[in-house]
Amino acid sequence: MKIKNLITWSRTNLFSNWYNSLISLFCIYLIIISLPPFIDWAFLSATFEGKLKTDCKTSGACWVFVKVWFEKFMYGFYPVENIWRINLSFLILIISISLSFFVKDKFKIYILFFLIFVFPIIAFVLIHGSFGMQIVESREWGGLALTFILAIFGIIFSFPLGVLLALGRRSELPIIKYFSICFIEFWRGIPLITVLFAAAVMFPLLLPADSYVDKTLRIAVGIAIFESAYIAEVVRGGLQSLPKGQYDAARSLGMGYWKMNFFIVLPQAIKTVIPGIANTFIALLKDTPLIVLVGMAEILGMINLAKANPYWLGMAVEGYVFAAAIFWVASYFLSSYSQRLEKKYSTEKK
Amino acid sequence: MQKSNFKNLLIKNFQWQNFLPQFLLLFFFFLLIFYFTKNAQVNLLARNITSGFDFLGTNSGFDVQFSLIPYDGSYSFGRAYLVGLLNTLLVSFFGIIFASILGFIIGISRLSENLLLSKLSHFYVELFRNLPLILQIFFWYFVVLRNLPTTEKSLILLDFLIINVQGFYFPKFIFTNFQFIIYGIIFAILTIFLLKYYSNKMFYNSGKYLPVFKLSLFFLILFPLVFAFLGSVGLTLEQAKLIQNFGIFNYVGGVKLVPEFLALLFALSLYTSTFIAENVRAGILSISKGQKEAAKSLGFNNSLSLKLIVIPQALRVIIPPTTNQYLNLVKNSSLAAGIGYPDLTSVFAGTSLSQTGKAIEIIFIVMMTYLSISLFISLILNWYNKKIAFISK
Amino acid sequence: MNKEKVIELSKVNKWYGEFHVLKDIDLSVYQGEKIIVCGPSGSGKSTLIRCINRLEEHQEGTVRIRDTILDHHTQSIEKIRSEVGMVFQQFNLFPHLSILDNCALAPSWVRKMSKKDAEELAMTYLAKVKIDDQALKFPGQLSGGQQQRAAIARALCMEPKIMLFDEPTSALDPEMIKEVLDVMTDLAKAGMTMIVVSHEMAFAKEVADRVIFMDEGSIVEEKPTAQFFSNPENERTKLFLSQIL
């Protein structure tokens, strides 16, 4: 009986007229030429066990490549015995973020404070090393961990700067206003890669001759400033959408500029634009791999390195599919998470 | 009235609580500029690099793989800049066209009642939107294009397009007396203006009107052809030929599109099309249910109601964010540096910078160029928004 | 009384998910009749008339417009819709077209009239609703009352046999309600078959042949106008009338 239902359903929905049928047939054709071959290559004919390329005898994917290089892809050249430090930092991050869902609004501020001011220090101490732990210079950081470190650094520091810029843009003080506008439009008008080039190559020229600022730090700061301009525009949208009555009410209660913004305006405005901020973060995560173009060994860089290794030639597909899977999963979960957040806050409002 | 406002403004800003933050901002900003400049002077001196833009006139000393204008190492850096800029504009131009076409098709497909089609297009959007662009570019370049057939086993389509691992080859269109085609186009444009004027007048007087759009299209095709015939415009197609040199096969002649260009173009088009598709979908959905119901109740079927009611209104919602995506595409074209396509960034901020060491001047020029393009596109967008705003009281 | 039965609803039921919005609706409408449907909000009045031009689909029962039964298999639902005109609470004029174009669009594209004839037709109806001088203006430039009158003209341009009105004056400022009701009264006097969902009881008394009171998805009371107002039987009807009048 179920098959009969399927047939009637297909009749009305997929093959109701010649036009529809043509489209349906085309779609079915596309699925047939792409899905079965892919499943076969990726799973059915693939080799999962082994240590060398020669272990891959089938025509399917050689996942041995990924297995062997896995730690390099994830952590770059970070000393293997210290990888637990990176994992620990991420664990702390995930715990703090998860915590923020179960606590009341009052405590959320503390978590935010922790994330912006305390966590970076903890993470740095752990990942870079001090207090007797082996020091791992930033040039040894690599792989996906590096991508995430820079992306998270970017989002943590671009957020306060972006909020300040958004407020500045709406300021009545002309110099602050025009400075903010120029700053925002400048960083939004140039490609990220020019920022990375500037940070990597040009910026050292602007510092005193005998000083040296770590390259990773320069890149991280560049990314943070770049993203802050985008966050500024997102937050500005939220500030604009707030009913004027809120400003009036706050002012009539005698609140000054900073109190009004910190207690009344910003909490509401930011709630409104959570999806926008989440989108910016996802975009940031997709932008961070660009650092491969200034010679930093994040995951794509490691894959390029691995596939050029004389023992592992021709493994480009497996490497990129692996990276694609990771980014896709991260990106997809972040966006569905932000949609859930958005639903939660919009129902709360009622 | 103006004067007193300005006076008030001044007074207001000189009150100390308003004055102080602005003064501090300016002060620290200029302090920073001064600090950077001082350091730069010292550092550049130490490395024996002169500053200034005269390097633009000196010979570049490097070749590029792909250029729209004649160029090699004997040309100046200024010329190299132009080559890079043209390559950026080239890939951006075609990228925008393909991304738009693909985006509109996919966007409308997402709203289709055919479940297969809407799910498939949903999958397409989710797939290509969530993967980093640089990864997609690498994939096209290192995986797809590397696996094309070798030169001697090229895929030849319709005797027109040759596809192999070295690139795509088209025949070169060589015109004689091409100016007549230009005359034809100019004539067609003038005729179209006249047509519009005349048909408006006719509509006003008698209520009849001419199918202006179809006629314009017809003229645009007809007149250049007529002029070409009258002016004896000649066209030869110079197709690429396969030659063999010491056992190595190569196609020479014709127009060659290198894999660097193709990988960038495909990745940019596919990636940007997903965002445009979402804009199109959001735009069409934004048209209130009431509009569609009014159309339905008047007896319009789905395709008529889409064409006459929904899409004209939806365009107003679709175009602003889509223009933003065009801007992103232009900026994203800078990723060309990853695979060696000689766009502005890789030719100028990449190669030229490493040749001359003039990081500050070069980065400045490159940033200014992208900024100008951004501002230009924003200006067009603002003009468009003003023009199409709904006429209201 | 050999009038043709133009609309027949029998045992019509509709659910929105679990919510039973129309319960066993039986309704017959004859040509030339004017019917007012009233009731508290959420009673299903709008859903009822929207089932008649199939903007909503009923799950059980029969909906018949003249000779055609409306259901999944109906060929060219558009043809039926072009015989049944609808006026909405929110007007739903097309903002990107002038009033004239709003009215002439459907006749030229659906009835395939020449644009010239369609515009002549449009001007006649715009004159009937007394806004022919606004023909070249855009909806955003008109007042609410003018917009609704234009919407009525637009529906009339398809020369429908039946006109449905879904709370046509509910979104209007009080001073504009009269101009729209006047147009509807003229239309009624000209013999149009009309079903109007409305709370305008004075209008009902003047124009309607029958008044239907709905509550919680069912038709609670259905009577010729005079009887409805002077002698309502049902308690709920009495309660409703006492709240409105």
pLDDT by residue for chain A (350 residues), tens only, comes to 677 778 877 777 777 777 788 888 888 899 999 888 888 888 888 888 878 877 777 778 888 888 888 888 888 888 888 888 888 888 888 888 888 777 776 777 788 788 888 888 888 888 887 777 778 887 888 889 899 889 988 988 899 999 999 999 988 888 899 999 999 999 999 999 999 999 988 888 888 877 888 888 899 999 999 999 999 999 998 888 887 777 877 777 777 788 788 877 888 888 788 888 888 888 898 989 999 998 888 889 888 888 888 888 878 888 899 999 999 998 888 888 788 777 776 655 54
* Residues of chain B found within 8 Å of residue A197, distances taken between Cβ atoms: 345, 349-350, 353, 363
Q: Do C109 and B304 touch (CB under 8 A)?
A: yes
Instruction: Confirm or reject contact between B202 and chain C (CB < 8 A).
Output: no
pLDDT higher for C114 or C93?
C93
Amino acid at B356: T
Q: Do B298 and C138 touch (CB under 8 A)?
A: no
Flag whether pLDDT at B2 surpasses 50: yes
Structure tokens, C19? 């919510």
Which pLDDT score, from 0 to 100, does residue B330 have?
A: 94
DSSP of A232-295: HHHHHHHHHHS-HHHHHHHHHTT--HHHIIIIIIHHHHHHHTHHHHHHHHHHHHHHGGGGGGGT
Q: Do B393 and C109 touch (CB under 8 A)?
A: no
Flag whether pLDDT at B12 surpasses 70: no
Mean pLDDT of B287-295: 88
Selecting from A30, A206, A293 the residue whose C-beta is nearest the C-beta of B39 gives: A206
Which pLDDT score, from 0 to 100, does residue C1 have?
A: 46
Flag whether pLDDT at B190 surpasses 80: yes
Give the distance from residue B304's alpha carbon to the nearest chain A alpha carbon, in angstroms.
16
Selecting from B115, B133, B374 the residue whose C-beta is nearest the C-beta of A14 gives: B115
Q: What dihedral do alpha carbons B273, B277, B278, B282 form, nearest 10°? A: 150
Q: What phi and psi values does residue C65 have, to the nearest 5 degrees?
A: -110, 110
Whole-number Å distance between alpha carbons of C93 and B314? 15
Which pLDDT score, from 0 to 100, does residue B392 have?
A: 61
Helices (H) and strands (E) in chain B, counts: 14, 8
Flag whether pLDDT at B89 surpasses 90: yes
* Residue C77 CA, distance from chain mean position: 18
Give the distance from residue C9's alpha carbon to the nearest chain B alpha carbon, in angstroms.
19
Band of the pLDDT at C11, cuts 50, 70, 90?
very high
Highest mean pLDDT among A164-168, B15-19, B224-228: A164-168
Structure tokens, A144? 């996906």
Flag whether pLDDT at B333 surpasses 90: yes
Mean pLDDT of C21-33: 92
Amino acid at B57: G
Indicate the SS3 state at residue C57: coil
Structure tokens, A138? 């930033």
Tell me the ipTM for this assembly: 0.85
Mean pLDDT of C109-115: 81
Give the distance from residue A107's alpha carbon to the nearest chain B alpha carbon, in angstroms.
32
Q: Residue C53 in contact with residue B299, Cβ under 8 Å?
A: no
Selecting from A186, A207, A327 the residue whose C-beta is nearest the C-beta of B131 gives: A327
As a residue count, chain A comes to 350
Looking at chain A, which subunits does it touch, using at least 3 CB pairs closer than 8 Å as the criterion? B
Q: Which residue, among B31, B363, B365, would best test binding to A if mutated, counting the most A CBs under 10 Å from its CB? A: B363
Give the distance from residue B301's alpha carbon to the nearest chain C alpha carbon, in angstroms.
6
Relative to beta strand B167-170, strand B255-257 is antiparallel
Q: Residue C135 in contact with residue B329, Cβ under 8 Å?
A: no
Angle at B260 between CA B257 and CA B264, to 5 degrees: 100
* Residue C242 CA, distance from chain mean position: 25
Relative to beta strand C193-197, strand C19-30 is unpaired
Inter-chain CB pairs, A–B, below 8 Å: 150
Separation in Å, CA B73 to CA B3, B60, B61, B70: 59, 5, 4, 11
Structure tokens, C15? 């659910």
Q: Do B114 and A24 touch (CB under 8 A)?
A: yes
Flag whether pLDDT at B6 surpasses 80: no
Residue ranges of chain C whose CB lies within 8 Å of a chain B CB: 53, 55, 78-79, 81-82, 84-86, 88, 90, 92-96, 105-106, 109-110, 114-116, 119-120, 138, 140-141, 151, 154-155, 158
Selecting from B46, B127, B334 the residue whose C-beta is nearest the C-beta of A191 gives: B334
C101, closest residue in chain B (CA to CA): B308
Q: What is the pLDDT of residues B122-149, one digit of tens each?
A: 999 989 988 999 999 999 998 888 888 8
Whole-number Å distance between alpha carbons of A158 and A168? 15
Which pLDDT score, from 0 to 100, does residue B208 have?
A: 60
* Residues of chain A found within 8 Å of residue B25, distances taken between Cβ atoms: 175-176, 179
Q: For residue A82, with 0-12 CB atoms within 10 Å meaning exposed, 13-18 middle and 19 or more buried, which class applies?
A: middle
Q: Do C140 and B299 touch (CB under 8 A)?
A: no
Flag whether pLDDT at B211 surpasses 80: no
Q: Residue B366 in contact with residue A194, Cβ under 8 Å?
A: yes
Q: Which residue, among A169, A178, A190, would best test binding to B if mutated, counting the most B CBs under 10 Å from its CB? A: A190
Q: What phi and psi values does residue A65 have, to the nearest 5 degrees?
A: -55, -50
Those of residues 120-159 in B touching chain A at CB distance below 8 A are 120, 126-127, 130-135, 138-139, 142-143, 146
Instruction: Confirm or reject contact between B369 and chain A (CB < 8 A).
Output: no
Structure tokens, C41? 């909000």
Give the distance from residue B290's alpha carbon to the nearest chain C alpha carbon, in angstroms.
6
Q: Do B309 and C94 touch (CB under 8 A)?
A: yes
Structure tokens, C99? 């009033």
Which pLDDT score, from 0 to 100, does residue B206 have?
A: 61
Q: Do B290 and C92 touch (CB under 8 A)?
A: yes
Q: Do B298 and C79 touch (CB under 8 A)?
A: no
Whole-number Å distance between alpha carbons of C48 and A36? 49
Which pLDDT score, from 0 to 100, does residue A268 have?
A: 81
Mean pLDDT of B365-387: 88
Q: Do A193 and B334 touch (CB under 8 A)?
A: yes
User: Mean pLDDT, chain B, as a whole number?
Assistant: 85
Which pLDDT score, from 0 to 100, does residue B277 have?
A: 94
pLDDT higher for C165 or B360?
C165
Instruction: Confirm or reject contact between B33 and chain C (CB < 8 A).
Output: no
Which pLDDT score, from 0 to 100, does residue A76 have?
A: 86
Q: Which residue, among B38, B130, B278, would best test binding to A if mutated, counting the most A CBs under 10 Å from its CB? A: B130
Whole-number Å distance between alpha carbons of A227 and A221? 10
Mean pLDDT of B72-89: 88
Measured distance between the N- and C-terminal CA atoms of chain B, rounded to whole angstroms: 28
Q: Residue C76 in contact with residue B304, Cβ under 8 Å?
A: no
Selecting from B207, B295, B393 the residue whose C-beta is nearest the C-beta of C141 gives: B393
Q: Which residue, among B12, B29, B42, B135, would best test binding to A if mutated, counting the most A CBs under 10 Å from its CB? A: B135
Q: Do B298 and C154 touch (CB under 8 A)?
A: yes
Candidate from A92-96, B16-20, B378-382, C42-46 with smallest mean pLDDT: B16-20
Selecting from C86, C93, C119 the residue whose C-beta is nearest the C-beta of B297 gives: C86
B119, closest residue in chain A (CA to CA): A27
Which pLDDT score, from 0 to 100, does residue A350 have?
A: 41
pLDDT higher for B50 or B193?
B193
Highest mean pLDDT among A231-245, B15-29, B355-369, C148-162: C148-162
**Stated pTM of the model:** 0.80
Band of the pLDDT at C209, cuts 50, 70, 90?
very high
Mean pLDDT of C139-165: 93
Q: What is the pLDDT of residues B44-54, one digit of tens each?
A: 888 877 777 87
* Residues of chain A found within 8 Å of residue B374, distances taken between Cβ atoms: 185, 188-190
Which pLDDT score, from 0 to 100, does residue B13 have?
A: 65
Which pLDDT score, from 0 to 100, does residue A97 have?
A: 81
Selecting from C96, C140, C158 the residue whose C-beta is nearest the C-beta of B393 gives: C140
Q: Do B300 and C106 touch (CB under 8 A)?
A: yes
Structure tokens, B392? 């209201």
Which pLDDT score, from 0 to 100, does residue A180 have?
A: 93
Write the CB contacts of A30 (distance below 8 Å, at least 6 apart in sequence).
B120
* Residues of chain C found within 8 Å of residue B304, distances taken between Cβ atoms: 109-110
| Exposure letters A182-214 (e unless 16+ CB within 10 A, then b) | ebbbebbbbbbbbbbbbbbbbbbbbbeeeeeee
